[in-house]
Amino acid sequence: MHSILEIIEEATDSAGPDLISLDDLKLALGITDNSEDAVLQAAITFQSRIIAEYCDRRFGLAEAIETFTFDRGETMPARLALTLSLYPVAEILDFSTSGATALDYQLDPVSGRVWANGWCGASSVAIIYSGGYDLPEEAPARLQRAVIVAVNEGRTSGTRDPSIREVQHGDTRISYFTSATSSASPGYLSAPVIDLIRPYRRLTVA
């Protein structure tokens, strides 16, 4: 089974990708001036995109049509869940087979899983729906915290090459002790960040 997601309309003010506002990030980091605003805003967007890629999903609110196509000889048996790409699901506008036959269904909005009531022998199923979070206000606290941690790690690590463990100049030697949980390079998610976002990785069909 394969799925194809087509975005019909993005919610202009909540499509993302930013998972936290600049003001909330600055408050969490204790930053009171505006000198770093441009850099911090760019960092929010970058880290939010990295997190979305790791979670294999889009978090921003949008309306979409998602088509599930079954392989030859494969059908959609009763109680097989189709996992929508955009969730939590706000509303399902249409659930039908490739022959435009409307299907009765059950939905778990939080996980984005939807079940057809009864056996479906169609070769494909199309679902028109809206889903995702109204960003950044509705982003889950763990995702917002993950961005805060990731941005702060980038600020505190500076520009030092993470492969360098020791620097010596004359009789002076400086050794760097890097935590195993810290970021190793730009775009790398540290263990604390991964722990925060793990519950939000895209679910598979089950």
pLDDT band of residue 19 (cuts 50, 70, 90) is: very high
Cβ contact 111:202 at 8 Å: no
Which of 50, 55, 15 is CA-nearest to residue 203?
55
pLDDT tens, position by position, 101-158: 777 889 999 999 998 886 666 778 899 999 999 999 999 999 999 999 999 998 887 5
Residue 195's contacts (CB-CB under 8 Å, 6 or more residues apart) are none
Residue 10's contacts (CB-CB under 8 Å, 6 or more residues apart) are 60, 61, 62, 63
- The whole-angstrom separation of Cα 200 and Cα 140 is 9
User: Across all residues in the chain, what is the average pLDDT?
Assistant: 82
pLDDT band of residue 168 (cuts 50, 70, 90) is: low
Task: Using the CB atoms, write b or e for 154-183: b if 16+ within 10 Å.
Answer: beebeeeeeeeeeeeeeeeeeeeeeeeeeb
* Six token digits for residue 165: 């463990």
- The whole-angstrom separation of Cα 27 and Cα 165 is 33
User: Within 13 A of 3's CA, how many CA atoms are on the CB side?
Assistant: 17
Question: How far is C-alpha 175 from the chain's CA centre?
Answer: 37
Neighbouring C-beta atoms of residue 145, cutoff 10 Å:
18
**Residues β-bridged to residue 125:** 68, 97
